[in-house]
Structure 1
């Protein structure tokens, strides 16, 4: 089987890194088209031996990208097209059909109750999504929560498949030596209690809540924000206003790669707790990765945890999401002291090998219907 994956961009983000990880576990010959922003993940895919094509799309209404994408699909003689993220799903499904490929699968990574990929879920967004969805064979939801949202939107239940995001659990296994190395590299003082946040630095992730919480915590508490985005300057200003700028570290984008001391597993090892203040998540990949690293987690929304039995994610605590709730739970965790850094059942449940096998079943069904 030969497949083409079409994604909106390949900067460091959950969907983008999930695609790279998935391609390393799929027994399929895959190429990737990125509509915009080749980014860091494109470099990683190229290092993995994956062919990456940059379509050079200039914006959401760059209709000249459609015939270019059709030509790429026709030239590649693909058996299946798999689209990721809103813009790529809209253009990719239509281009695949125009190119004569009927086996079209889409993964819905980021559908929330009120927004998708940071854009408000207007009637126009919904109508365009549903119109293009009908051009595919099936839509993959990354959690039962997202599947329910798709059904409420009007996607027929039989067209929805659930394939959760996956992680390489072994990569996140806690290493005390790596923790010490990374904390020294970051310049953290000995004895610092490090609260971590991982994700795009955008308003929807609500990392400003953690900055306000830090201002109410003792001076030995630090905040480590891992990710890039347009909201970084706003968060820096918020830290200045709160008087905690000297205790907030911004790492920028960090891949899940092979750079000990600088990659995401290393940075998770340096933390004492992960805090996820986002009020609306489709899966909660950062939470699952933190659990795999053996970290206690405070979260507001995480379908990956909420869709499992209560005892599967020991160490994960749901909080209201306001500043006071984070201050209270962080104070409680600090007083309790450190615990063994081992991955709970939830982390093992979301194995990338299991997710890849489930996706292959979806592929087989899509191709068999052509």
Structure 2
């Protein structure tokens, strides 16, 4: 497309996958010669991350619930629209979506709603009007959400899109030297089969279930299996995770790394990755990074994961026995592991950051064309 000005509305407090999706999209657009501004909540992780990425975020109280704050918010939004003159406004959260819709007539921009939240939107009449008549395009980040928009919200097929996101394949790729260095760092032998879970410490991420699954394997005689937990305290404290490890008798088999600077090298050190989430994963950033590093991945069947992996690599969320079985297969069935690795590599080939950008630009082109015709 020709030069575009976009506003990415990323009013997310924590730097989660939804926030990453919006900020990464702004970064890619800017790098491609377009101009994107990020609107975020002041004093939040997302705002600070946007600043560190050089995105010059604009602070607005977009999640305000007090009606007395609405006039000031609408004034600030109007000023930004007049000064920046966006071609597209992309809302990555629902708060303030109505306000951006109200200002479309003044700004003349196309309005896009990207839904990366795990919660399915309500199919009430006002919400259906917002998504089917006010929005010029609706983007879902997985097929479950796409089906919901189509079947329950009745969003027309010609304005409904699925974009899973993308991964920087120049940064995330298999690193043989890094693999050797990381395995040496954590005392991992060549014969050890190393499983890794990348994600903040939070109940949703399934660290406890993963520890329990590996405990079953160890107790059945698999003494060469190891688990790296690439995570750190958030909603769940590291001390609680350490208690789970002790309770399972897995102190010799599980290592907590904390934050690591060399993520690609750490992922390359794995023999298999696991996404054990109990819910969520509507945008699976960690899964894409593991797959991009050439590692086979097994997962629970939540969110976007069925869009990424073959059915044989998926298990029900929270099913420790099924998770143990699929990890056992990954560790002992070399043919299946090689086939899974090939399937992951083939899938990630269409999920690079260039794909993410180009798919989004195609949506923006359609939305702008639709806006001009209306």
Q: TM-score, normalised by structure 2?
A: 0.77
1:9 to 12, 24, 28: 12
Tell me the SS of whatever aligns to 2:170.
helix
Q: Which has the larger radius of gyration?
A: 2
How far did residue 325 of structure 1 move?
Answer: 1.4
CA deviation vs aligned residue, 1:311-363 (integer Å, no higher than 9, x gap): xx679712234111122222232234686977621010112212211211221
Residue 29 of structure 2 is aligned to residue 33 of structure 1: no
Q: Which residue of structure 1 lines up, in the alignment, with residue 214 of structure 2?
A: 214
Distance 2:156 2:253 in 1: 48
CA deviation vs aligned residue, 1:221-279 (integer Å, no higher than 9, x gap): 22414366313455444334333356544455x6xxxxxx6243233123221111225
Q: How many residues align?
A: 346
Q: Root-mean-square deviation (CA), in Å?
A: 3.5
Q: How does 1:54-133 map to 2 (within 5 A)?
A: 54-55=59-60, 61-63=65-67, 64=69, 66-67=73-74, 68-87=76-95, 90=97, 93-94=100-101, 96-97=103-104, 100-111=107-118, 115=119, 129-130=127-128, 132-133=130-131
Q: How does 1:198-347 map to 2 (within 5 A)?
A: 198-218=198-218, 220-226=225-231, 229-232=234-237, 234-244=240-250, 247-251=253-257, 262-280=261-279, 281-301=281-301, 306-307=306-307, 317-321=313-317, 322-336=319-333, 344-347=345-348
Alpha carbons 1:194, 1:224 under 8 Å: kept: no
Distance 1:315 1:152 in 2: 24
Q: Which residue of structure 2 lines up, in the alignment, with residue 148 of structure 1?
A: 147
Alpha carbons 1:93, 1:136 under 8 Å: kept: no
How far did residue 297 of structure 1 move?
Answer: 1.2
How far did residue 140 of structure 1 move?
Answer: 0.8
Alpha carbons 1:274, 1:297 under 8 Å: kept: yes
Distance 1:231 1:126 in 2: 35
Shift in CA distance, 295/62, structure 1 to aligned 2, threshold 3 Å: farther
Alpha carbons 1:172, 1:265 under 8 Å: kept: yes
Alpha carbons 2:178, 2:266 under 8 Å: kept: no
How far did residue 9 of structure 1 move?
Answer: 2.5
How far did residue 200 of structure 1 move?
Answer: 4.4
Shift in CA distance, 293/318, structure 1 to aligned 2, threshold 3 Å: same
